[in-house]
Amino acid sequence: MRVRLLFIGALLACSCVAVAVGCVAAAPETAPESPSTEFGDPSDPSGSETPSTSPDTPARPEPSRQPTLDERAAQKVAELTLEQKVAQLFIVRPESITGVDVATQAGPATEEALATYPVGGIAYFQQNLIDPDQTRTMLANSQAYAQEAVGLPLFTCVDEEGGTVSRIGGNPGFAIQNVGDMAAVGAAGDTAQAEDVARTIGTYLRDLGFNVDFAPDADICGDPATDVMALRSFGTDPQVVASMVAAQVDGFASAGMLCSAKHFPGIGGVMGDSHEGAIVSEKSLDELRADELVPFEAAIKADVPFIMVGHLSLPNATGTDTPASINPAIVTDLLRTELGYGNLIITDSMGMGAVGDVTPDQVGVAALEAGVDLVLMPADFPAAYEGVLDAVRDGRLTEDRIDESVQRIVKTKLSLEELE
């Protein structure tokens, strides 16, 4: 009996404990404690677990800084010989370095020529361009030879403004329609159309292997009845021309095509043709600022890669008859300094009559002394090339001056990689 009573008491004691536990569980909830994990209280930074380190644990290496485009260009320039750097300052016709009558292919003669003269670029004309396959092969081979010679691409250049200045559009060998004269585009007053025209041109040129188009034309037309630029210019209003030029710079860029605003400081409205002889503007510098320079300022704001300087003489603006392309008052003082242009400055063709008074061995020297970066198509390239080398050796030009331009050239060429 006593044992039975003890058993019953034990049961009652267990029940009380269970009830007590149940009462605790049912008690009203209080504010929960802050959650914690094995890494400590996240609201308390001091509670976070700090990864342990020991002398035996190697430090994680810092990621290496990639060189800037300017640094890469400077390194490349430092690797070039003086002769290679001077060659980079010229853009020539293929016949000028190969000696052939009409170049329509790039084979052993081109390979040898580019090994001897690793020029900055080659400009092609309609006589060089037969059909798409021939053009692609010729340009691709030339690029390969240039890379082999100096480790840099060529500027493969063409004049493709549209309308009267077209080497591809309307060429019977290419199934590509000519986009028409820019005078009609300007008259329409639609910047979106101007941009689309440039994008169209840039797209088919890039497909063929070109990377530089000497367009758009930034000249302001004078009298449409007499101005030789009448069909090539966007019009007579500086603001209209400026808006069209800026739109085309954007259009070419969207197609991955380098372009060049021309012909600084503006040859529209001037009588004569610089292909044949001297052309002169009587305008003052203030008059140029009010009109002719407006489209070029728009192009600079749009980050145009090249500006081509024409052969216009401006005695009232500069106090001399020296053509703009070899005149430091225009190239350095006005374009580089006053307008703040930092990209590539190229001459118009140095084989034109307007610069015919300059001897073949001095055309490159004169352009470089004026502040130009690239000398376009001298009539006698070997003489112009040797003339620059002689000027450096004689001290008339410093190697630092050569490096200044080659740095811009190489930087622009390296930027082509980003367009691929």
- If phi over 0 gives left and psi between -120 and 50 gives alpha, with beta otherwise, what is residue 43? alpha
Point out the catalytic residue in the list 159, 227, 348, 361. Answer: 348
Q: Cα 313 from chain centroid? A: 28
275 is catalytic: yes
- Residue 206 · residue 259 · CB < 8 Å: no
Task: Give 312's strand partners.
Answer: 279
3-class secondary-structure state, position 260: strand
Please tell me what DSSP assigns to residue 152. Answer: S
- If phi over 0 gives left and psi between -120 and 50 gives alpha, with beta otherwise, what is residue 370? alpha
Per-residue exposure over 18-51, b if at least 16 CB sit within 10 Å of its own CB, e if not: eeeeeeeeeeeeeeeeeeeeeeeeeeeeeeeeee
- Residue 208 · residue 136 · CB < 8 Å: yes
Residue 285 corresponds to which amino acid?
L
Bridging pattern class, strands 279-280 and 344-347: unpaired
44 is catalytic: no
Task: List % helix, strand, coil for the chain (3-state, nearest 5).
Answer: 50, 10, 40
3-class secondary-structure state, position 118: coil
Point out the catalytic residue in the list 41, 237, 273, 275. Answer: 275
- Residue 242 · residue 297 · CB < 8 Å: yes
Q: Which residues are catalytic?
A: 275, 348
